[in-house]
Amino acid sequence: MKKLKFTISNPVNINQIFNILEDKSVWFKKEKYVRRGDNCVPNRDFALRFSELLIPKTKRIEKFFSKKSKYNYGIYILLFNGFEKYYVGIAARYSRLDRNKNLIDIKTPEGILKRLRKHRAKCTGTYNNISHTQSWKNFALDRYEFYKKNKMKDTMSDCQLSLIFFDEHERNKINDKGMLEELEDHINRNNISNILDDRYFNFSPLATTKLKEFSYIPIFSKVDINTLI
């Protein structure tokens, strides 16, 4: 089995990288979530534009997460301290397999920044017409009640971010989405402290993933994200 090298960044507080505006809108008292079109969304007013959900603190950070940046594709891990939860997401760049196992190009790839903005909306229960699954609905309400009880602004101070990149993404274009899905499932099915450290031993995943057998052996090297941005 071939070996694939990845770089993984040590977790940092997400608000060290982004300015995170508080959602000051009020939840409506009856139904906390409603269906609007095809999406299940928080039952509150529109408060923040999509670009305002996470605002890069510097031009260097903005460039780091630009569409052409190699650092804007791979895996992102959100770690919620105090709740002992984590979420693993993927942002593939090149290609995937369709239902018939045919390889097709990803014409409009979603980078890590776009994906992170969507999950910021999910964890804070911010209405931006982004659909929430049941696990995200429950988690957003738990966080909302916690911040309300403690009279704190919710600017994601509980959240840390870790990123995983291919060392040679250009040489691993063929079904890079599938390879990332394999790693995503591996992280969800094994204790996340195995790839991070013992601080996260009691953390459990927010999402379930389909079983994916590894087609490669992942090799990780750690880096401080501040050395990259």
Residue 178 pLDDT exceeds 90: yes
Residue 83 pLDDT exceeds 90: yes
pLDDT at 90: 97
Q: In sequence order, which residues have a C-beta less than 8 Å from that of residue 124 and are 6 or more positions away?
A: 23, 140, 143, 144, 154, 156
- Would you place residue 80 in the very low, low, confident or very high pLDDT band (cuts 50, 70, 90)? very high
In eight-state DSSP terms, residue 51 is G
With contact defined as beta carbons under 8 Å apart, do 223 and 196 qualify?
Answer: no
Domain of residue 58, residue span: 3-227
pLDDT at 60: 96
pLDDT at 91: 98
Q: How far apart are CA 169 and CA 179, in angstroms?
A: 11
- Would you place residue 213 in the very low, low, confident or very high pLDDT band (cuts 50, 70, 90)? confident
pLDDT at 105: 94
Mean pLDDT of 54-71: 96
- Would you place residue 200 in the very low, low, confident or very high pLDDT band (cuts 50, 70, 90)? very high
With contact defined as beta carbons under 8 Å apart, do 164 and 74 qualify?
Answer: yes
Based on the structure, what is the number of domains in the chain?
1
- Quote the mean pLDDT of the chain: 95
Mean pLDDT of 147-163: 96
pLDDT at 89: 97
Percent of the chain with pLDDT over 90: 92
Mean pLDDT of 194-215: 92
Q: pLDDT digits over 21-48, tens only?
A: 999 999 987 899 999 999 999 999 999 9
Q: In sequence order, which residues have a C-beta less than 8 Å from that of residue 82 and are 6 or more positions away?
A: 146, 158
- Would you place residue 210 in the very low, low, confident or very high pLDDT band (cuts 50, 70, 90)? confident
User: Alpha-carbon dihedral of residues 90, 207, 117, 223, nearest 10 degrees?
Assistant: -50
